[in-house]
């Protein structure tokens, strides 16, 4: 059974790990979307040149 | 560089600074609770994170409710996007409130979860209700019909927020009722308010990020349609 200080530390760590983990997830999704948008736009430009 | 891109890092740094101040205040400035009804005065400090997390989660679901009403009135897709983004952030915040609450409860009673605590049970139901909303929106086909149904769901689902908040007044619970003064000294209120500001700012930052992602996903969808049509 964790002590009061351990419970507090775990709660704080989980809160901030959870927040930063979510932010990291959002960044990963953003990068993937940016890559996909760039690929599609490149294909559109290539199609327009034909 | 776009205007929004310049504000993003500045807001994030401001939030990080405010978050660090809040942690320092909760650990170093806030005294032990004066009430003897709390078994562990150190674990009690989880309160300063747990309550603002729950508050910002409720706020997120309030925004889902308001945006859903406005969407049904205007049929402007921007309000639907706001509701979707806010629900996603709200689920994350309420998940963290549940986890921190379970840790605090373990320090107080030796158990992580008690089904007989009305606030815990109703907040768990609230979490499931919005988790279902997020799951349905992320797997759906999109379109006007789905957005309309989701808006109705978003309005009805909001009933679970006041049920969760007021459950401690109506049913047996380990949680103290809202406004309970048995442990609230002015210093406690001050640290709690700093926490509320910090986590409200966090909600706004995450919401902004989620909305930017939704916008990007729409741009991609439009580009793909142009490609198919070309």
Say how far apart CA B95 and CA A18 lie, in whole Å.
9
* B-chain residues near A50 (CB < 8 A): none
Question: Is residue B103 in a domain?
Answer: yes
The token pair that represents B150 in the structure block: 């989701």
Question: Is residue B32 in a domain?
Answer: no
Summary count for chain A: helices (H), strands (E): 1, 0
**Whether B154 contacts B133, CB under 8 Å:** yes
Question: Is residue B86 in a domain?
Answer: yes
The token pair that represents A49 in the structure block: 């040149």
**Whether B197 contacts B55, CB under 8 Å:** no
Place of tokens 């209700």: B129
**Whether B90 contacts B137, CB under 8 Å:** no
DSSP state of B44: G
Question: Is residue B131 in a domain?
Answer: yes
Question: Is residue B16 in a domain?
Answer: no
- pLDDT higher than threshold 90 for residue B72: yes
pLDDT in tens, B110-134: 888 888 888 889 999 999 999 999 9
Question: Is residue B23 in a domain?
Answer: no
The token pair that represents B29 in the structure block: 């400035």
Question: Is residue B171 in a domain?
Answer: yes
**Whether B202 contacts B58, CB under 8 Å:** no
Task: Provide the domain count of chain B.
Answer: 1
Question: Is residue B14 in a domain?
Answer: no
Of B103, B104, B219, which is closest to A37 when you measure between CB atoms? B219
Asked whether the beta carbons of residue A12 and residue B49 sit closer than 8 angstroms, the reply is: yes
For residue B114, give the 3-state DSSP assignment.
Answer: coil
Per-residue pLDDT of chain A (50 residues; tens, 9 = 90+): 667 788 888 999 999 999 999 999 999 999 999 999 889 888 888 876 55
The token pair that represents B175 in the structure block: 């949680």
Q: How far is A50 from chain B (nearest CA, A)?
A: 11
ipTM, two decimals: 0.84
Q: Supply the pTM of this predicted model.
A: 0.89
- pLDDT higher than threshold 90 for residue B206: yes
Alpha carbon separation from B34 to A38, A42, B23, B106, B168 (Å, rounded): 59, 65, 20, 20, 22
Alpha carbon separation from B180 to A48, B35, B59 (Å, rounded): 67, 11, 21
Q: Which domain holds residue B80?
A: 40-177+185-221
Asked whether the beta carbons of residue A29 and residue B213 sit closer than 8 angstroms, the reply is: yes
Q: Residue B50, CB half-sphere, CA atoms under 13 Å: how many?
A: 21
């Amino acid at each position: 059974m964790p002590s009061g200080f351990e419970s507090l530390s775990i709660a704080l760590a989980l809160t901030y790990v959870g927040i930063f983990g979510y932010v990291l997830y959002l960044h990963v999704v953003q990068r993937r979307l940016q890559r996909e948008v760039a690929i599609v736009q490149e294909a559109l430009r290539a199609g327009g040149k034909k | 560089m776009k205007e929004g891109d310049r504000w993003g890092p500045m807001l994030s740094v401001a939030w990080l600074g405010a978050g660090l101040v809040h942690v320092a205040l909760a650990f170093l400035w806030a005294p032990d609770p004066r009430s003897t009804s709390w078994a562990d005065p150190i674990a009690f400090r989880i309160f300063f994170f747990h309550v603002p997390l729950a508050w910002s989660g409720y706020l997120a679901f309030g925004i889902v409710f308001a945006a859903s009403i406005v969407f049904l009135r205007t049929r402007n897709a921007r309000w639907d996007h706001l509701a979707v983004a806010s629900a996603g952030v709200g689920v994350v915040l309420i998940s963290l409130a549940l986890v921190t609450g379970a840790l605090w409860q373990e320090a107080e009673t030796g158990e992580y979860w008690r089904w007989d605590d009305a606030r815990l049970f109703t907040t768990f139901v609230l979490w499931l209700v919005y988790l279902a909303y997020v799951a349905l929106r992320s797997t759906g086909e999109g379109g006007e019909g789905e957005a309309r149904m989701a808006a109705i769901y978003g309005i009805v689902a909001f009933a679970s927020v006041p049920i969760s908040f007021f459950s401690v007044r109506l049913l047996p619970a380990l949680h103290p009722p809202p406004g309970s003064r048995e442990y609230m000294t002015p210093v406690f209120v001050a640290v709690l308010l700093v926490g509320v500001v910090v986590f409200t700012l966090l909600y706004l930052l995450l919401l902004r990020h989620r909305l930017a992602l939704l916008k990007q996903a729409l741009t991609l969808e439009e580009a793909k349609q142009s490609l198919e049509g070309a």
